[in-house]
Amino acid sequence: MIIKDELQLTEAVLAETARADDPRFREIVQALIRHLHDFAREVRLTEAEFDAGINVVARLGQLTTPSHNEVRLIAGSLGLSTLVCLMNNGTEEQPTSANLLGPFWRAGSPVMRNGDSLVRSPTEGPPLYFTGTVVDTSGKPVAGAEVDVWHCAPNGLYENQDPAQAEYNLRGKFYTDEAGGISFRSIKPSGYPIPLGGPTGDLLTALKRHPFRPAHIHALVYKPGYKTITSQIYSHDDPMLDTDSQFGVTGPLIASYVLHSDEPAPDSDVNEPWYSLDYTFIVEPGEAWLPTPPVSAKSETQAAGWAS
């Protein structure tokens, strides 16, 4: 088709999608084309602005490596990750515990027994004892569910970002017992700034937004017959709950990290204040599937380069 003007151009591009065999794929591509073209027309995008935008997209890909996922990071900072999660999980009447996958999940975490410790290398921080239960939307325990957990160290870094931490430090995979329960020992996570060395950091700076996330523990719950969820359990007293840079905090995901100052800990080697955390994960019937891991390896460079 010989292009006549900007409106006819959009019609021409849409017409070229009609041969796609998959109707859902065709629907998505056509909607993407319409919205992209409408966006450009709405803001009257200049050639210089288009060039700058293309460079941002290219840099997102260039900075996404086996140990860092800049694309996931900016999707969260734009609220897109949370939007997709809210559209696809539970209802207002029957919510689930679904939340952001985040940019730091690694597949292949070691399988552990209930009660084991996630700490694999010296990691300073208050001890934390976690107990959790997986139930369905009617409250029935879900036995045999795979619960993959991970969180950052008190220095604000995940093990794949930090050469000083052992492989899979503060990561582990558990299976729920007949009562739907899991338990493990770790250390209390802290809030942290997201990596600022790429387009996501540039965006937050330009918008005068801070980069911080409230303290949280991640979990990915998987069992055939139930919709796979990723969850984040946020600390009730974190000052960043209302201004999470990734827009991830929802009410049902805020839990109490209980401080025990004068009580004996479950393990005799703990002679300091410790925390306990109990949380119930809610899953719904649906498709069990595993997302593409945002990262797959430890960084070969110093993590400080990303956080600067």
Q: How confident is the model over 190-235, as pLDDT tens digits?
A: 999 999 999 999 999 999 999 999 999 999 999 999 999 999 999 9
How many angstroms separate the most distant Cα atoms in the chain?
Answer: 79
Task: Say how far apart CA 237 and CA 256 lie, in whole Å.
Answer: 8
* Three-state SS at 216: strand
Query: CB under 8 Å to 152, separation ≥6 — which residues?
Result: 104, 158, 170, 189, 190, 192
pLDDT at position 91, please? 86
Cβ contact 259:249 at 8 Å: no
Query: CB under 8 Å to 287, separation ≥6 — which residues?
Result: 227, 228
Cβ contact 184:116 at 8 Å: yes
pLDDT at position 266, please? 95
> What CATH number does the domain located at 69-307 have?
2.60.130.10
What's the start-to-end Cα distance of the chain, in Å? 50
Strand spans (E) along the chain: 127-136, 146-150, 171-175, 181-187, 192-193, 212-213, 216-222, 229-235, 254-255, 258-260, 274-283
pLDDT at position 304, please? 39
- Ranges of the chain with pLDDT below 50: 302-308
Query: CB under 8 Å to 210, separation ≥6 — which residues?
Result: 193, 204, 240, 243, 245
Helix (H) or strand (E) holding 76: helix 70-77
Domain residue spans in the chain?
Answer: 6-45, 69-307
Task: Say how far apart CA 206 and CA 151 lie, in whole Å.
Answer: 28
pLDDT at position 204, please? 97
